[in-house]
């Protein structure tokens, strides 16, 4: 499930049976970044977007939606702080 949280923040939710190892989650996030980074032509200009991505997993980082959102948000801000256009997995 992909949902817009507001502004420029989006959420990707995977079902429990789609649990992935940390390396697979990072690779999925990098594939999302690559797709987002494809230039979009607007008139004569070309616009490219970059994304900082924070990842939190159930139950390692929280057992309810609010906790998981907060932990993913913290990881995203850590990604921005460390240089933007990065992927960070929340720390347990």
Query: What whole-number distance in Å separates Cα of residue 46 and Cα of residue 39?
Result: 6
Q: How do residues 62-84 score in pLDDT, each as one tens digit?
A: 999 999 999 999 999 999 999 98
Model confidence band, residue 22 (pLDDT cutoffs 50, 70, 90): confident
Q: Which H/E stretch holds residue 3?
A: strand 2-6
Q: Which residues are catalytic?
A: 8
| Residue count of the chain | 92
Residue 51 has pLDDT above 80, yes or no: yes
Alpha-carbon torsion 92, 10, 29, 59, what sign? Answer: positive
Position 91 scores a pLDDT of: 80
The SS3 of residue 55 is strand
Q: Which of 82, 77, 56, 59 is nearest to 9 (CA)?
A: 77
Question: Which tokens hold the place of 64?
Answer: 């309810």
Query: What whole-number distance in Å separates Cα of residue 74 and Cα of residue 43?
Result: 37
């Amino acid at each position: 499930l992909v949902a817009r949280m507001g502004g420029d923040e989006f959420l990707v939710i995977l079902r429990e049976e789609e649990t992935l190892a940390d390396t697979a989650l990072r690779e999925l996030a990098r594939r999302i970044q690559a797709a987002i980074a494809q230039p979009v032509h607007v008139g004569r200009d070309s616009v490219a977007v970059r994304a900082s991505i924070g990842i939190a997993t159930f139950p390692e980082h929280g057992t309810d939606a609010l906790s998981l959102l907060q932990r993913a948000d913290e990881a995203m801000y850590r990604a921005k702080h460390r240089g933007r256009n990065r992927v960070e997995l929340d720390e347990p």
